[in-house]
Structure 1
Amino acid sequence: EDDYDGEYHYASAPLPALKSLDGHDRVLYAGSFSKSLYPGLALGYLVVPQRQCQAFDAALRAGSNGCPQLMQAIVADFMREGHFARHLRKMRLLYARRRALLEQALQQVFGDAVAVALQGGGMHLIARCPGAQESDAALARRAQAAGLNAQALSERCASVHEQGLLMGFTNIASQVQARRVVKRLQAALAL
């Protein structure tokens, strides 16, 4: 299980991690601190069943030098002293506000031409363009050509072919900035 954005839930309690429901010790729980702390940290973790710890330790030593122990110790202290939990609470509030700013700007600028789908968690929202004459992939390319990082939802769905633009909101700092970004998107998409 890769619970890559499990720390960021805004509307409801997160679903429990599959690992927490694992009564037979079969689930490996993987994660990293790239999104929750800092991408350059390059520190990940893997929670394995107790009976497999030695085998995973041996495999890790054979295939990698691992992360520097000093960095691991610093992050461990950061967590043990409660700083990580406080940081996550602060970031959840900040990202919830930024998500709302982007949602409001999309609704104000596009009106009914865009339907915003807010996910319960994560660092993206989905903007669907029901009246668009082009595919979401074509719209995403137009947004990218305008310097915006919108991704086609259809290219990220494994089984269901859904249309929409996947848009990150974590770098939206103000209402003015949100509106400016969405105006650029509107010009690029010509909806």
Structure 2
Amino acid sequence: MNIENSIAYFKQTFYSDVKLDMELDKEDALYCLDYSDDFSVFFLCDCGDHYTVMQEKHFKDSNLSDDELFDIGIRNLRAVAEKIKITQNEGLLYFSGSGDFEASLLLVSEIWSDWLVEYCPNGYVAAIPARDILVVSDKRDESGIEKLISIIGSIWPDGDHLLSNSLYHQSGKKWVPYKNA
């Protein structure tokens, strides 16, 4: 696994007190960084014709810090972002093109600080119900926020690769649940 090809990736996180039938060795567990109650940042290694999810043993062998790996993951996600199409429709911004990384684009800071400011001058509210769905509204657009809630409702709970049924907004460098939804 070439760690330099790792891409930061949102994946739903499950927490349970249920005892599993089979326990993985810690080294075989998937490596991730906590992000929210609903999902964490995992790292996919682009192996050309498929992705491999980074495990604890890969991270340990890399001798990188969490921050160094995160920077590599964001650098590679930024390259994905350059191939994503952003469409504006009825006041919403729709992201499409990868089928895997749209929701994870919340992690690419320059999208939000530079690229799209003119479309959402009051800040952003985002829906990421699944890994391949990112839809954004201006924070003061009540109609847009209602549309985001409707989009989540049409996908949740039966969609594929679900992430969150919450809306998110920026708080500093992080995206947190939007309480006014």
TM-score by length of 1: 0.27
Question: Going by fraction, where is strand more abundant, 1 or 2?
Answer: 2
Highest Rg: 1 or 2? 1
Question: Going by fraction, where is helix more abundant, 1 or 2?
Answer: 1
TM-score by length of 2: 0.28
